[in-house]
Amino acid sequence: MGVRRVAKGVGDFLVDTAGEAVADAVLSALACALLGGLALIAYLSWSFSPRLTIAGAGLISLFLAHGAWKTFRTSASGLRRGLAVLTTAGFALAASTAVFLLLYTPGCGCL
């Protein structure tokens, strides 16, 4: 019984290790594709109109700054309505995307 238990433990370890390696490769490829897509969007928008690109970046910055302000500000009621919900969700999405790219793009060969 001891040999079977050891063999099963080794097999489980190898399956877990291979699964983690595959998941890491998939996440790195996804991060590289996301970074490439963002770079392509920036390049195409700049080649179309640099002024509109700067204006759009400014508006997105204001949108994210408002979301960050609403996220970290202590409000009396704790309720968010209307634009605050939208900007807070946008800030959370941008922040989580930034953390994802920070963690997984260094392992990608596209940089």
Q: Are 110 and 28 in contact (CB under 8 A)?
A: no
**How much is the pLDDT for 96?**
92
Tens-level pLDDT at each residue, the chain (111 residues): 577 887 788 788 888 888 888 888 888 888 888 888 888 999 999 999 999 999 999 999 999 999 899 888 866 666 667 888 888 899 999 999 989 888 888 866 665
How many whole angstroms separate alpha carbon 106 and alpha carbon 111?
8
DSSP string, the chain: -HHHHHHHHHHHHHHHHHHHHHHHHHHHHHHHHHHHHHHHHHHHHHHH-HHHHHHHHHHHHHHHHHHHHHHHSPPSS----THHHHHHHHHHHHHHHHHHHHHHGGGSTT-
Structure-token pair, residue 4? 């079977």
The residue type found at 3 is V
**How much is the pLDDT for 76?**
62
Q: What is the value of pTM for the model shown?
A: 0.71
Give the Cβ contact number of residue 90 at 10 Å. Answer: 16
